[in-house]
């Protein structure tokens, strides 16, 4: 497990480059760091956090939402170009109606108001997932948010909403079939052009909180050679400093890609 006391300096740099001493909270020792190009976060433990603190479930999601914003900024400051986060799975529709309403309230807040803050900070937002079952206004908000943030260069935020990894692969196969492409011409590289937002690269690192150690249908295509870090803390307890430890742990890994 990583050491939470580890600290580096950082600004947005590509993998393997030295990190500057000038930005954000990344002010300490000057080290050479390899920032993953793409980190995926599985935001687990919001409901347990609410129960632990004697709060309604919605308050757990709200605390998790606030933690997500801190983690996003810290991850971008570390030089990560793509940040994906699992906000709502296709299976989440089966949860209590009140809980789903609360989640949709936060989603609308992101797309209607908080997207402006993300734009000011230079982020690009893309949404992975199906549009089936979505309220019409939410589907339109997704289109609008992607459009207004499309020129962001600080980092790309890949929001996995109404998302399932298996369903994403099925959608890719359906798109290929709809174009009448000869199956014998399809290989891994060609197939990758038909998944949701194919410009989002494979995950270098997937981080899951709450102590659970499973993918839960997250990024199945993009996780073929991912590194994994599982943290015992609940998602709402995540802070900027945790990103420091995550990057440190990643730098201790040797990626072999099956070799």
Give the number of other Cβ atoms within 10 Å of residue 30's Cβ.
11
DSSP assignment of 169-212 equals: HHHHHHHHHHTT--GGG--HHHHGGGSSSTTSPPPSEEEE-TT-
**Residues 46, 212, 38, 186: what is their CA dihedral angle, to the nearest 10 degrees?**
-120
**242 contact partners, CB below 8 Å, separation of at least 6:** 4, 71, 231, 233
Q: CB–CB of 160/84 below 8 Å? A: yes
The Cα 50–Cα 206 span in angstroms is 24
Catalytic member of 92, 217, 237, 251: 92
Would you call 44 a catalytic residue per the annotation? yes
Q: CB–CB of 150/124 below 8 Å? A: yes
CA-CA-CA-CA torsion sign (193, 198, 203, 206): negative
Active-site annotation, residues: 44, 92
């Amino acid at each position: 497990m990583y050491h939470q006391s580890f600290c580096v300096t950082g600004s947005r740099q590509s993998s393997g480059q030295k990190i500057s001493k000038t930005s954000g909270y990344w002010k300490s020792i000057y080290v050479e760091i390899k920032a993953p190009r793409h980190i995926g976060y599985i935001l687990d433990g919001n409901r347990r956090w609410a129960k632990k603190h004697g709060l309604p479930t919605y308050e757990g999601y709200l605390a998790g939402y606030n933690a997500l914003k801190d983690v996003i900024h810290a991850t971008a400051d570390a030089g990560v170009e793509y940040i994906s986060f699992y906000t709502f799975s296709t299976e989440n529709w089966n949860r209590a109606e009140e809980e789903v309403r609360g989640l949709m309230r936060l989603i609308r807040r992101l797309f209607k108001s908080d997207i402006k803050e993300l734009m000011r900070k230079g982020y690009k937002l893309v949404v992975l997932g199906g549009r089936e079952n979505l309220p019409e206004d939410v589907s339109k908000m997704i289109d609008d948010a992607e459009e207004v943030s499309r020129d962001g260069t600080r980092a790309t935020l890949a929001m996995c909403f109404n998302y399932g990894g298996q369903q994403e692969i099925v959608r890719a196969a359906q798109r290929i079939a709809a174009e009448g492409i000869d199956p014998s011409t399809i290989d891994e590289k060609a197939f990758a052009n038909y998944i949701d937002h194919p410009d989002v690269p494979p995950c270098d690192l997937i981080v899951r909180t709450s102590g659970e150690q499973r993918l839960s249908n997250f990024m199945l295509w993009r996780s073929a050679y991912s590194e994994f870090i599982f943290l015992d803390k609940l998602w709402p307890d995540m802070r900027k400093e945790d990103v420091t430890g995550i990057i440190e742990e990643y730098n201790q890994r040797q990626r072999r890609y099956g070799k």
